[in-house]
Structure 1
């Protein structure tokens, strides 16, 4: 893992949660969109910027360890890379089915629906 906070399983669960929140529709699993869905679901008022853009926030917006982590540009970029790698792995291993429109758009497969974690 490139990021220093989340494990493989936690990144998997982040992507899975994003897909299930959109189910039965397709989900755009672009890393920025996935992180922002996770932040929103966790009750954070932060919004992660696109790669290469600066993060702006108020001090009182930071409420969790993940918020503090995601503010650092290098940490966020590492997590984005891990999410992209995880989504690719999930698609290659039948957890995600292509949505057809763009390479980051997927439908959850039955395998994803039945697998809440990678730790078996």
Structure 2
């Protein structure tokens, strides 16, 4: 029996983002970009990510920022490669699948993959 629901609101986004970054912080492949290189202030970063993904999925208009700039800054400090971006997508997709299922869950995975591909292309080609 499956009791997973679709992503329906900000609370679901918060659960997804928190669960995902809890994994990323300890991740052997890309965790160091967040903890050692960018030295992410999670109290600041997580609410930005809630807004980002909520805007992506529900068009809330509550996100303003330049994710490209942030990724380039990290890349300049410690170069990222295609494997890193692919790994991010894998962990994100797996986290969505563990928590949710439905139309919005599929949409957020697709959007995350597309965003990662654009980020990867722009970050690695400049």
Q: TM-score range by the shorter chain?
A: 0.3 to 0.5
In proportion to residue count, which structure has more helix?
2
TM-score of the superposed pair, with normalisation by structure 2:
0.33
In proportion to residue count, which structure has more strand?
1
